[in-house]
Amino acid sequence: MDHKKWNLTVVICFYGMLLAAGLFNYAVDPFLHYGTGLGKFEYPLLDERYINDGIQRNFDYEMMITGTSMSWNFAPSVAERLWNKPAIKTAYSGAHFNELANSIETAIRHNPELDTVICSLDPNNLALDPYSAAYSGNPDYMYDDDPFNDVNYLLNKEVITKSIAVINYTRAGNTTVSLDDYGRFDTYMPSGREAVLASYARLPVSDSILEFGDEDREKICSNLSVNFISLARDNPDVEFIFYIPPYSYCYWDGALRSGQMDYVLEAEKYAVSLLLECDNVSVYAFDDDLDTTTDLDNYTDTLHYTAPVCESILERISAGEGRLTDGNYEEYFERIKDIYGNYDYDL
Gap between the Cα atoms of 68 and 236, Å rounded: 24
User: What 8-state DSSP symbol labels residue 225?
Assistant: I
- What value does the mean pLDDT take over residues 322-333? 97
Gap between the Cα atoms of 27 and 36, Å rounded: 6
H/E element holding 281?
A: strand 281-285
- What value does the mean pLDDT take over residues 56-65? 96
Strand partners, 65: 89, 118
User: Tens digit of pLDDT for each residue in 129-173?
Assistant: 999 988 887 888 888 888 888 889 999 999 999 999 999 999 999
Q: Does residue 9 have a pLDDT over 70?
A: no
Question: Given this model, what pLDDT does residue 241 score?
Answer: 98
Question: Higher model confidence: residue 98 or residue 14?
Answer: 98
- What value does the mean pLDDT take over residues 261-267? 98
| Strand 239-244 versus strand 323-324 pairing type | unpaired
Q: Does residue 30 have a pLDDT over 60?
A: yes
Gap between the Cα atoms of 47 and 28, Å rounded: 16
Q: Does residue 41 have a pLDDT over 60?
A: yes
The residue type found at 321 is E
Query: Helix 3-28 vs helix 157-171: angle between axes, to the nearest 10 degrees?
Result: 50
Question: pTM for this one?
Answer: 0.94
Contacts of residue 45, defined as CB under 8 A and 6 or more positions apart, other chains included, come to 51, 55, 176, 177, 179, 182, 183
Q: Does residue 7 have a pLDDT over 60?
A: no
Question: Given this model, what pLDDT does residue 308 score?
Answer: 97
Question: Mean pLDDT over all residues of the chain?
Answer: 94
Q: Does residue 38 have a pLDDT over 80?
A: yes
Gap between the Cα atoms of 138 and 188, Å rounded: 26
In 3D, which of 73, 343, 300, 340 has the Cα closest to residue 193? Answer: 300
User: Tens digit of pLDDT for each residue in 188-205?
Assistant: 999 999 999 999 999 899
Strand partners, 41: 38
Q: Which domains does the chain have, with CATH numbers?
A: 27-341 (3.40.50.1110)
User: Tens digit of pLDDT for each residue in 279-292?
Assistant: 999 999 999 999 99
